[in-house]
Chain A
Amino acid sequence: QVQLVESGGGLVKPGGSLRLSCAASGFTFSDYYMSWIRQAPGKGLEWVSHIRSSSGYTNYADSVKGRFTISRDNAKNSLFLQMNSLRAEDTAVYYCARDWEQLGLIDYWGQGTLVTVSS
Protein backbone atom coordinates (compact mmCIF):
# COMPACT_ATOMS: atom_id res chain seq x y z
CA GLN A 1 0.00 0.00 0.00
CA VAL A 2 1.06 3.60 -0.57
CA GLN A 3 3.01 5.06 2.33
CA LEU A 4 4.50 8.50 2.75
CA VAL A 5 6.52 9.06 5.92
CA GLU A 6 7.83 12.52 6.74
CA SER A 7 10.71 13.30 9.07
CA GLY A 8 12.97 16.18 9.98
CA GLY A 9 10.57 18.49 11.75
CA GLY A 10 11.35 20.17 15.05
CA LEU A 11 11.94 23.43 16.88
CA VAL A 12 14.10 26.02 15.15
CA LYS A 13 14.84 29.68 15.84
CA PRO A 14 13.75 32.42 13.46
CA GLY A 15 16.26 32.73 10.65
CA GLY A 16 17.29 29.11 11.02
CA SER A 17 17.14 26.20 8.59
CA LEU A 18 15.58 22.76 8.51
CA ARG A 19 15.46 19.95 5.97
CA LEU A 20 12.37 17.80 5.73
CA SER A 21 12.40 14.35 4.17
CA CYS A 22 9.63 12.10 2.92
CA ALA A 23 10.17 8.37 2.36
CA ALA A 24 7.79 6.92 -0.20
CA SER A 25 6.84 3.28 -0.67
CA GLY A 26 4.14 1.13 -2.23
CA PHE A 27 4.21 2.81 -5.65
CA THR A 28 6.62 3.74 -8.43
CA PHE A 29 7.84 7.01 -6.96
CA SER A 30 9.57 8.20 -10.12
CA ASP A 31 6.25 8.19 -12.02
CA TYR A 32 4.57 10.75 -9.77
CA TYR A 33 4.62 14.48 -9.24
CA MET A 34 4.91 15.31 -5.53
CA SER A 35 4.01 18.28 -3.35
CA TRP A 36 4.52 19.71 0.11
CA ILE A 37 1.42 21.14 1.74
CA ARG A 38 1.35 22.72 5.19
CA GLN A 39 -1.18 23.43 7.88
CA ALA A 40 -0.59 25.99 10.61
CA PRO A 41 -1.95 25.01 14.04
CA GLY A 42 -5.74 25.20 13.97
CA LYS A 43 -5.72 26.59 10.44
CA GLY A 44 -6.42 25.46 6.89
CA LEU A 45 -4.29 23.89 4.18
CA GLU A 46 -1.69 25.80 2.19
CA TRP A 47 0.13 24.41 -0.85
CA VAL A 48 3.87 25.07 -0.47
CA SER A 49 5.78 23.50 -3.33
CA HIS A 50 5.60 21.00 -6.18
CA ILE A 51 8.08 18.97 -8.18
CA ARG A 52 7.58 17.00 -11.33
CA SER A 53 8.66 13.40 -11.61
CA SER A 54 12.02 14.10 -13.27
CA SER A 55 12.91 17.06 -10.99
CA GLY A 56 13.25 19.33 -14.00
CA TYR A 57 10.37 21.56 -12.97
CA THR A 58 9.59 22.98 -9.56
CA ASN A 59 7.10 25.52 -8.31
CA TYR A 60 6.65 27.46 -5.07
CA ALA A 61 4.06 29.47 -3.23
CA ASP A 62 4.92 33.17 -3.09
CA SER A 63 5.16 32.92 0.70
CA VAL A 64 8.19 30.60 0.51
CA LYS A 65 9.76 31.48 -2.84
CA GLY A 66 13.49 32.14 -2.50
CA ARG A 67 13.64 30.53 0.96
CA PHE A 68 12.51 26.93 0.37
CA THR A 69 13.86 24.40 -2.12
CA ILE A 70 12.11 21.18 -3.09
CA SER A 71 14.05 18.24 -4.46
CA ARG A 72 13.76 14.50 -4.91
CA ASP A 73 15.91 11.41 -5.23
CA ASN A 74 14.04 8.91 -7.36
CA ALA A 75 16.68 6.22 -6.76
CA LYS A 76 15.97 6.45 -3.02
CA ASN A 77 12.21 7.09 -3.31
CA SER A 78 12.62 10.27 -1.34
CA LEU A 79 11.27 13.81 -1.40
CA PHE A 80 12.92 16.74 0.37
CA LEU A 81 12.18 20.30 1.42
CA GLN A 82 15.09 22.53 2.39
CA MET A 83 13.76 25.42 4.42
CA ASN A 84 15.99 28.45 5.04
CA SER A 85 15.41 31.84 6.67
CA LEU A 86 12.53 30.41 8.64
CA ARG A 87 9.91 32.72 10.11
CA ALA A 88 7.34 32.31 12.86
CA GLU A 89 4.63 32.14 10.21
CA ASP A 90 6.24 29.00 8.78
CA THR A 91 5.18 27.11 11.91
CA ALA A 92 2.96 24.28 10.68
CA VAL A 93 2.54 20.60 10.08
CA TYR A 94 4.16 19.84 6.76
CA TYR A 95 2.58 17.09 4.68
CA CYS A 96 4.24 15.16 1.89
CA ALA A 97 1.60 14.54 -0.77
CA ARG A 98 1.28 12.52 -3.96
CA ASP A 99 -0.19 14.18 -7.01
CA TRP A 100 -2.71 11.98 -8.86
CA GLU A 101 -2.44 11.93 -12.64
CA GLN A 102 -0.30 15.09 -12.61
CA LEU A 103 -3.40 17.14 -11.95
CA GLY A 104 -2.59 18.79 -8.62
CA LEU A 105 -5.16 16.50 -7.06
CA ILE A 106 -3.76 14.88 -3.91
CA ASP A 107 -4.66 11.22 -3.56
CA TYR A 108 -2.27 10.28 -0.73
CA TRP A 109 -0.94 12.28 2.20
CA GLY A 110 1.70 11.48 4.78
CA GLN A 111 0.97 11.88 8.49
CA GLY A 112 2.92 15.13 8.57
CA THR A 113 5.86 16.52 10.50
CA LEU A 114 5.60 19.55 12.79
CA VAL A 115 7.90 22.51 12.26
CA THR A 116 7.92 25.11 15.03
CA VAL A 117 9.76 28.39 14.50
CA SER A 118 10.21 30.18 17.78
CA SER A 119 12.91 31.88 19.81
Chain B
Amino acid sequence: DIVMTQSPDSLAVSLGERATINCKSSQSVLYSSNNKNYLAWYQQKPGQPPKLLIYWASTRESGVPDRFSGSGSGTDFTLTISSLQAEDVAVYYCQQYYSTPQVTFGPGTKVDIK
Protein backbone atom coordinates (compact mmCIF):
# COMPACT_ATOMS: atom_id res chain seq x y z
CA ASP B 1 0.00 0.00 0.00
CA ILE B 2 1.08 3.56 -0.63
CA VAL B 3 1.27 5.31 2.74
CA MET B 4 0.40 8.99 2.88
CA THR B 5 1.69 11.30 5.59
CA GLN B 6 0.81 14.93 6.27
CA SER B 7 2.37 17.76 8.21
CA PRO B 8 1.61 19.50 10.40
CA ASP B 9 -1.17 17.68 12.26
CA SER B 10 -2.81 21.05 12.87
CA LEU B 11 -2.13 24.72 12.36
CA ALA B 12 -3.68 28.02 13.35
CA VAL B 13 -3.42 30.94 10.97
CA SER B 14 -4.66 34.51 11.22
CA LEU B 15 -7.42 35.59 8.89
CA GLY B 16 -5.93 36.75 5.58
CA GLU B 17 -2.66 34.95 6.17
CA ARG B 18 -1.21 31.98 4.26
CA ALA B 19 -1.73 28.38 5.33
CA THR B 20 0.52 25.63 3.99
CA ILE B 21 -0.07 21.89 4.34
CA ASN B 22 2.41 19.24 3.27
CA CYS B 23 1.73 15.72 2.05
CA LYS B 24 4.22 12.97 1.34
CA SER B 25 3.66 9.59 -0.30
CA SER B 26 5.74 6.48 0.43
CA GLN B 27 6.31 6.01 -3.29
CA SER B 28 5.97 8.20 -6.34
CA VAL B 29 2.43 8.86 -7.56
CA LEU B 30 3.68 10.33 -10.83
CA TYR B 31 2.52 8.17 -13.74
CA SER B 32 5.27 8.40 -16.34
CA SER B 33 3.11 7.61 -19.38
CA ASN B 34 1.01 10.77 -18.98
CA ASN B 35 3.25 12.80 -16.63
CA LYS B 36 0.38 13.26 -14.17
CA ASN B 37 0.53 13.11 -10.40
CA TYR B 38 -2.33 11.01 -9.05
CA LEU B 39 -2.80 13.18 -5.98
CA ALA B 40 -5.94 14.93 -4.72
CA TRP B 41 -6.86 17.22 -1.84
CA TYR B 42 -10.16 17.22 0.05
CA GLN B 43 -11.68 19.60 2.57
CA GLN B 44 -13.90 18.29 5.36
CA LYS B 45 -15.89 20.63 7.57
CA PRO B 46 -17.42 19.40 10.85
CA GLY B 47 -20.43 17.15 10.34
CA GLN B 48 -20.01 17.10 6.56
CA PRO B 49 -18.55 14.66 4.05
CA PRO B 50 -15.27 15.53 2.36
CA LYS B 51 -15.31 17.85 -0.64
CA LEU B 52 -12.92 17.54 -3.57
CA LEU B 53 -10.72 20.63 -3.88
CA ILE B 54 -7.81 19.71 -6.14
CA TYR B 55 -6.85 16.78 -8.36
CA TRP B 56 -3.84 15.96 -10.55
CA ALA B 57 -1.95 17.66 -7.69
CA SER B 58 -2.69 21.16 -8.97
CA THR B 59 -6.02 21.30 -10.85
CA ARG B 60 -8.77 23.07 -8.93
CA GLU B 61 -12.20 21.47 -8.98
CA SER B 62 -14.90 23.64 -10.51
CA GLY B 63 -16.18 26.24 -8.05
CA VAL B 64 -13.19 26.06 -5.71
CA PRO B 65 -11.87 29.55 -4.88
CA ASP B 66 -8.52 30.42 -6.41
CA ARG B 67 -7.00 31.06 -2.98
CA PHE B 68 -6.59 27.26 -2.88
CA SER B 69 -3.64 25.94 -4.85
CA GLY B 70 -1.77 22.67 -5.06
CA SER B 71 1.79 21.97 -6.04
CA GLY B 72 4.44 19.27 -5.99
CA SER B 73 5.39 16.14 -7.88
CA GLY B 74 6.50 12.59 -7.31
CA THR B 75 6.31 12.08 -3.55
CA ASP B 76 6.07 15.60 -2.09
CA PHE B 77 3.05 17.85 -2.37
CA THR B 78 1.69 21.06 -0.88
CA LEU B 79 -1.75 22.60 -0.45
CA THR B 80 -1.67 26.36 0.01
CA ILE B 81 -4.49 28.63 1.12
CA SER B 82 -3.17 32.02 0.11
CA SER B 83 -5.43 34.15 2.29
CA LEU B 84 -7.29 32.22 4.97
CA GLN B 85 -11.00 32.93 5.33
CA ALA B 86 -13.25 31.96 8.22
CA GLU B 87 -15.05 29.41 6.04
CA ASP B 88 -11.78 27.57 5.39
CA VAL B 89 -11.69 26.15 8.92
CA ALA B 90 -11.70 22.42 8.25
CA VAL B 91 -9.63 19.28 8.11
CA TYR B 92 -7.72 18.80 4.87
CA TYR B 93 -6.80 15.38 3.50
CA CYS B 94 -4.52 14.37 0.67
CA GLN B 95 -5.28 11.20 -1.28
CA GLN B 96 -3.34 9.14 -3.78
CA TYR B 97 -5.28 7.45 -6.55
CA TYR B 98 -2.21 6.03 -8.29
CA SER B 99 -2.95 2.57 -6.89
CA THR B 100 -6.65 2.71 -7.68
CA PRO B 101 -8.97 1.19 -6.63
CA GLN B 102 -6.99 0.78 -3.40
CA VAL B 103 -6.67 4.49 -2.79
CA THR B 104 -5.22 5.82 0.45
CA PHE B 105 -5.62 9.05 2.36
CA GLY B 106 -3.34 11.06 4.56
CA PRO B 107 -4.22 11.39 8.26
CA GLY B 108 -5.51 14.92 7.83
CA THR B 109 -4.44 18.43 8.85
CA LYS B 110 -6.75 20.58 10.94
CA VAL B 111 -6.77 24.27 10.06
CA ASP B 112 -8.05 26.81 12.60
CA ILE B 113 -8.11 30.56 12.99
CA LYS B 114 -5.46 32.07 15.24
Q: Give me the interface of A with B, judged by CB distance under 8 Å.
A: 33, 35, 44-47, 50, 59, 61, 95, 99-100, 102-107, 109-112
How many A-B Cβ pairs are below 8 Å?
59
Interface residues on B, range: 20 to 34
Cβ contact within 8 Å between A106 and B52:
yes
DSSP majority for the A interface? strand
Binds A, one of B18-26, B68-76, B79-87, B95-103: B95-103
> How far apart are the CA atoms of A45 and B52 in the complex, in Å?
13
Question: Which residues of A are found within 8 Å of B105, using beta-carbon distances?
Answer: 44-47
Cβ contact within 8 Å between A104 and B100:
yes
Question: Which residues of B are found within 8 Å of A95, using beta-carbon distances?
Answer: 49-50
> How far apart are the CA atoms of A59 and B102 in the complex, in Å?
8
CB distance from A62 to the nearest CB of B (A): 8
Interface string of B34-68 (1 = CB under 8 A from A): 00001010100000111110010000010000000
CB distance from A7 to the nearest CB of B (A): 15
**Which residue on chain A has the smallest CB distance to residue B39?**
A105
**Which residue on chain B has the smallest CB distance to residue A111?**
B49
